[in-house]
Structure 1
Amino acid sequence: MDGRRKFLSFLSLLLALFLLFVFTWNTSLPNSYNLNSAKRVAEELELKPHHQMRHHESHASDTPRHPLDPLTVQEMNRVRSILSSHALFRASKSYALHSVALEEPPKSRVLTWREGDPLPPRQASVVARLDRVSHVLTVDLESGRVARVDTGPLSGYPTMTIEDMNTATFTPFLSEEFNRTLVARGVDLKDVACLPISTGKKIRWFVCFLDFFWG
Structure 2
Amino acid sequence: MMRSRSASPRASALRMAWTIASRVAIGGSSHRELANDARILGAGRNGCHKDATDSVDDVVTGQENRAMPHPDRIAIVGASLGGLRTAQTLRGRGKFEGTITLIGAEPHYPYDRPPLSKQVLAGEWGPERTLLDPPDKVDELGLDLRLGTRAEGLDLEAREVALSDGERVGFDSLIIATGATPRTLPNTPDLAGIYTLRTIDDSMRIRAELAQGPRVAVVG
TM-score (normalised: structure 2): 0.23
Larger Rg: 1
Higher relative contact order (CA 8 A, sep 6+): 2
Q: Which has the larger share of helix? A: 1
